[in-house]
Amino acid sequence: MDFTTFLWTTLGAFLTLATFSFLYKDNPFYKLAEHLVVGVSAGYFMIIVWHGTMVPNLFNKLLDGDWFLLFLNSNQWWYVFPGILGVLMWTRFSRKYGWISRWPMALYIGIAAGVAVPLEMSNKVNKQLVATMVDIEWSNFFGAGIWDPFSGFANLLIFVGAISGLIYFFFSKAHTGAFGGVAKLGIWTLMIGFGASFGFTVMARISLFINRLQYLDQNWAQTAFDSTNPNYNTGFQLVFWLVVLMLLAYAVWEFIAYLRRRGEASTPE
């Protein structure tokens, strides 16, 4: 890694620590990191859309014609129409002409709804309904293990869980007796489902922290002290210690401020 790349890595490390500092309290370092993320993301998105979509999918399609004919002698002159519809979207910024933007919006929503309704119904509803009505494979009841999602046991669980879960949400009959028992099984099924989601979520959040730890150690700290790097110079360590010193200084400053606040709070009026 060369020194310039290391400076960018250091910026990444600094922003990582600045973001985590929010766990202590809101502070200027966190604010800097937050605003940078928003700004950089917006700028990056604009450039990606311009070069990756507008240029190849619109301008290049039209530019094989001549400008003076408004692209109309292009081989794909009909691309003018989506271009016009796109421009009409911008009329939203005008109070007087804002209504025009409803036309491209209506076209977009109409097409999206027309495409979405049958596909969503087929793939999110019908296929899921069918999947809860499969035969229980008694010959393969335990499959490759009790947690095999394709075993007969899993089929049985899905059947019982789906029915009891539905019964829990059936409020036209009082949840008493056997009916109430099944409804209770339904809420347990739901809770186990939520528990699984919660467990996965905990893992996901810890994963984020682990990833940052790996970055700080492997990409930043180890590089700062990696004398086998052919581009290595004392600047690597200097930058590393500078950032550490800055963070320490901030921690000390916060600690002094904390002590001062505590002293003021305990002083009798």
Partner 1 sequence: MTLFDRLMRLDRRWVFLFLAAVCIAGYYIDYSIPIRVTNEVRSIYKFIDSLPEGDIVFVAIDYDPSNQAELHPMTYAIMEHAFRNNLKVMFTALSQNGPGMADQAIRDITDSVALDRTYNGQLYEGREIKNGVDYTFLGYKPYYAIIILSMGQNFRISFPTDYYGTPLDSLPMMRGVLNYDDVACVIDLSGGNITDAWISYGQGRYNFPMALGLTGVMTAQYYPYLNSGQIFGIMGGMLGAAQYERLADNPGLAIDGMRVQLPAHIVIVLFIIIGNIGYFMSRRRQAMEGR
- Where along the sequence are the contacts to partner 1 (CB under 8 A)? 23-24, 41, 44-45, 48-49, 52-53, 56-57, 60-61, 112, 115-116, 119-120, 122-124, 127-128, 130-131, 134, 144, 147-150, 154, 158, 193, 196-197, 200-204, 206-214, 217
Cβ 56 to partner 1, closest distance in Å? 5
89/175 with CB nearer partner 1: 89
180/216 with CB nearer partner 1: 216
Q: What is the dihedral of CA 105, 110, 113, 116, to 10 degrees?
A: -100
Cβ 91 to partner 1, closest distance in Å? 20
Cβ 265 to partner 1, closest distance in Å? 15
158/187 with CB nearer partner 1: 158
Cβ 175 to partner 1, closest distance in Å? 25
172 phi and psi, to 5 degrees? -75, -10
Cβ 96 to partner 1, closest distance in Å? 28
222/233 with CB nearer partner 1: 222
Q: What's the alpha-carbon Rg for the chain, to the nearest Å?
A: 30
9/61 with CB nearer partner 1: 61
180/243 with CB nearer partner 1: 243
Q: What angle do CA 13, 18, 19 make, to 5 degrees?
A: 100
211/237 with CB nearer partner 1: 211
Cβ 40 to partner 1, closest distance in Å? 9
Cβ 133 to partner 1, closest distance in Å? 11
Are the beta carbons of 21 and 29 closer than 8 angstroms? yes
